[in-house]
Amino acid sequence: METYDLTIRGGRVALPGALVACDVGVRDGRIVALAERLSPGKRDIDAAGRLVLPGGVDGHCHFDQPTGDGSRMADDFLTGTRSALFGGTTTIIPFAAQIRGQSLRAAVDDYHARASGKAMIDHAFHLIVTDPTPDVLERELPALIAEGYTSFKIYMTYDDLKLSDRQILDVLSVARDHGAMVMVHAENADCIAWLTDRLEAEGRTAPIFHAAARPKVIEREATHRAISFSELVDVPILIVHVSGAEAMEEIRRAQGRGVSLHAETCPQYLFLSEDDLTGPGFEGAKCICSPPPREAANRAAIWQGLATGVFSIVSSDHAPFRFDDPAGKKLKGEDASFRWVPNGIPGVETRLPLLFAGVVEGRIDLDRFVDLTATGPAKMYGLHPRKGVIAVGSDADLVIWDARAPVTIAQVDLHSACDYTPYEGITVPAWPEIVVQRGEVLAERGHLFAEPGQGRFLPCDRPAPARPLGARRPSGLFRAEEA
Ligand code: DUC
Ligand code: ZN
Ligand code: ZN
């Protein structure tokens, strides 16, 4: 009789495209059998009445990322991965960010040192390219892509991060030649600067004016520009953290005419609104992130985009800054203009439970939930089928959910080093009960069994996300030359 290191029995298992009542057999960290009734393992977990889903893949989160303004992210790789784990995420992809003047290689080496001995779960790295010198474009990027750093984020805003339009074209061109995925932060920098100056001149500096300085139209404009550049260079891109219905409509329109284009949104655009930027005193600073949460009615449009396939992934954009901390949201004090408040909110632990509410409420089906939170990101970043799917041969990264046990989100129950959650008091229908990585139970009903440093670094393949159905290759510059 075959023996398994672990058998998960009697659950309803989310296999690709179908929820199936079966057992899961695990050996040497991998799934080796999926069948109605398997022989006992060295350890058996009774999953009767439970759902067994793939471990979440969070394709956009910021841990221990150096900042240029004296602020400090609350989570390092230990607290960040611990928090991810308790929320059912078993793979994270944070960012090795290039500081201008620094080589990309130095940024990557520095980031490995930050993860080393701390990460409890498996992780890959995206790059953030802020200084695309000829050496970066011609030598460093191609070499790093070949080594498994196959995705990079670029910014159209933030003075210390943003690229010019010409630099964006250069980076897209490298991605095209070497098969990498470019993630674009799409907001118009000059519009934000202009609006910020005007708001401050009128004395409008409270946290709520962060939203007024970054209205939906400036996200829509930058999104349209980024899509145009991707068509020109003929390379698929991913627009990250899409917040507004207008930007989403630009994306839908481009997808409709056959452009190979991907989009990500985040729980903050489904559960928060600009009303959360108000509140007594400086409280609204807790929800300052960019793009900002929009008016409450906008959320229905983003849910609709999830249900109709505009979005390929839902990520947390976890960027934790403590509230009551001079290195956090109060960097320049409680009376400071919104301009000086570090952008970002915690969310790596709440991402899956929040989105799962959409399944229970009938906004998306379970298959779509799995695709958006695990399979989609694993495919997008070249980690599939090792990650993001329950299949024979895949890593045994599994989450057992009891969908009949509602939980009210409270900061005291979370595991990040941040000192607040923007979702305090929201009741979600379920929470991960048991989280397994590579066959090992790492978290179970609030107890942690993971060791710092046991998470492995994952080099990524070149991403091969499917073109949207019926996609044609756009007729950009390179296409015309090849024809
Ligand atoms: N915006 C970003 O672009 N990154 C981190 C957090 C945020 O709010
Ligand atoms: Zn961003
Ligand atoms: Zn981000």
pLDDT of 324-371, one tens digit each? 999 999 999 999 999 999 999 999 999 999 999 999 999 999 999 999
The mean of the pLDDT values for the chain is: 95
Q: How far is CA 245 from the centre of its chain?
A: 19
* Amino acid, single-letter form, for residue 176: R
CA of 193 to the centre of ligand 2 (A): 17
Find tokens 């992130």 and name the residue: 289
CB-based contact 268:289 (threshold 8 Å): yes
Using the mean position of ligand 2's atoms as its centre, give its distance from the Cα of residue 174 in Å: 21
Q: Which residues in 377-399 are b (16+ Cβ under 10 Å) and which e? A: bbbbbbbbbbbbbbbeebbbbbb
pLDDT number for residue 280? 87
Q: In a mutational test of the pocket of ligand 1, which residue from 289, 338, 418 has the highest number of ligand atoms less than 8 Å from its CB? A: 289
> Among all chains, which residue has been given the structure tokens 């401050």?
200
Above pLDDT 90, what percent of the chain? 94
Q: Is the dihedral of CA 280, 291, 125, 134 positive or negative?
A: negative
Query: In the predicted model, is pLDDT for residue 321 greater than 90?
Result: yes
Phi/psi region, residue 438 (left: phi>0; alpha: psi -120 to 50; beta: rest), is left
Which is the closest atom of ligand 1 to the Cα of 185?
A: 3
Residue whose token pair is 């004090």: 333
User: What are phi and psi for residue 110, nearest 5 degrees?
Assistant: -60, -40
Question: Which residues, in sequence order, are CB contacts of 11 under 8 Å at separation 6+?
Answer: 21, 24, 47, 48, 50, 51, 52, 400
> pLDDT tens-digit profile of 203-229?
999 999 999 999 999 999 999 999 999
In whole angstroms, how far apart are CA 141 and each of 115, 283, 308, 373? 21, 41, 35, 28
The answer to whether 435 and 399 have CB atoms below 8 angstroms apart is yes
Q: State phi, psi for 35 to the nearest 5 degrees.
A: -155, 165
Q: Near ion ligand 2, which residues have CB within 5 Å?
A: 185
Most informative mutation of 158, 287, 343 for ligand 1 (most atoms within 8 A of CB): 343
Which residue CA neighbors atom 1 of ligand 1 most closely? 290
Closest CA to 393 of 56, 53, 33: 33
Measured CA to CA in angstroms, residue 172 lies from 146, 148, 177, 180 at distances of 16, 18, 9, 9
Q: Is the dihedral angle over the CA atoms 386, 312, 444, 21 positive or is it negative?
A: negative
Domains, the chain, ranges and CATH?
Answer: 56-371 (3.20.20.140)
Q: How many angstroms separate the CA atoms of 350 and 283, rounded?
A: 20
Predicted confidence (pLDDT) per residue in 230-255, tens digit: 999 999 999 999 999 999 999 999 99
Q: What is the 43 CA–ligand 1 centroid distance (Å)?
A: 42
| pLDDT for position 1 | 61
How far is ligand 1, taken at its centre, from the CA of residue 215, in Å?
A: 15
Q: Determine the distance separating the centroid of ligand 1 and the alpha carbon of 423, expressed in angstroms.
A: 17
State the pLDDT at residue 478: 38
Residues 164-188: pLDDT tens digits? Answer: 999 999 999 999 999 999 999 999 9
Residues with CB under 6 Å of ligand 1 are 62, 185, 289-290, 317, 319, 343-344
- Measured in degrees and rounded to the nearest 5, phi and psi for residue 199 equal -60, -45
Residue 481 has pLDDT above 60, yes or no: no
Alpha carbon nearest to ligand 1 atom 6, residue? 344
Query: Which numbered atom of ligand 1 lies nearest the CA of 343?
Result: 8
Atom of ligand 1 nearest to the CA of 62: 5
Residues in the chain: 483
Percent of the chain with pLDDT over 70: 96
Which of 264, 266, 287, 290 maximizes ligand 1 atoms within 8 Å of its Cβ, making it the mutation to test the pocket?
Answer: 290
pLDDT of residue 2: 72
Question: Given a cut of 50, is residue 471 above it in pLDDT?
Answer: no
Q: Which residues are registered as beta bridge partners of 231?
A: none
Tokens at 133, concatenated: 């010198």
For ligand 1, atom 3, name the residue with the nearest CA: 290
Mutate to test the pocket of ligand 1, among 62, 239, 418 (most ligand atoms within 8 A of CB): 62
**CA 9 to centroid of ligand 3, rounded, Å:** 38
pLDDT, mean of residues 393-414: 97
pLDDT attached to residue 438: 98
Q: How far is the CA of 10 from the centre of ligand 1 (A)?
A: 41
- Rounded to the nearest angstrom, the distance between the alpha carbon of 317 and the centre of ligand 1 is 7
- pLDDT of residue 468 exceeding 50: no
**Do 68 and 30 form a contact (C-beta atoms < 8 A)?**
no
Answer yes or no: are the C-beta atoms of 225 and 165 closer than 8 Å.
Answer: yes
Nearest-CA residue for ligand 1 atom 4 is: 344
Sheet with 89-92: list strands edge to edge. 56-58, 89-92, 122-123
pLDDT band at 483 (very low <50, low <70, confident <90, very high): very low
Average pLDDT over residues 425-443: 98
Q: What's the CA gap between 223 and 246, in Å, rounded?
A: 9
Query: 406 C-alpha vs ligand 2 centroid, how far in Å?
Result: 31
Q: What is the pLDDT of residues 73-132, one digit of tens each?
A: 999 999 999 999 999 999 999 999 999 999 999 999 999 999 999 999 999 999 999 999
Between the CA of 390 and the centroid of ligand 1 the distance, in Å, is 31
Q: CA-to-CA distance for 340 and 331, rounded, in angstroms? A: 7
pLDDT score, position 464: 62
pTM of the prediction? 0.95
Residues surrounding ion ligand 3 at CB below 5 Å? 317
Closest ligand 1 atom, residue 288 Cα: 8
DSSP 8-state code for residue 483: -
425 band by pLDDT with thresholds 50, 70 and 90: very high
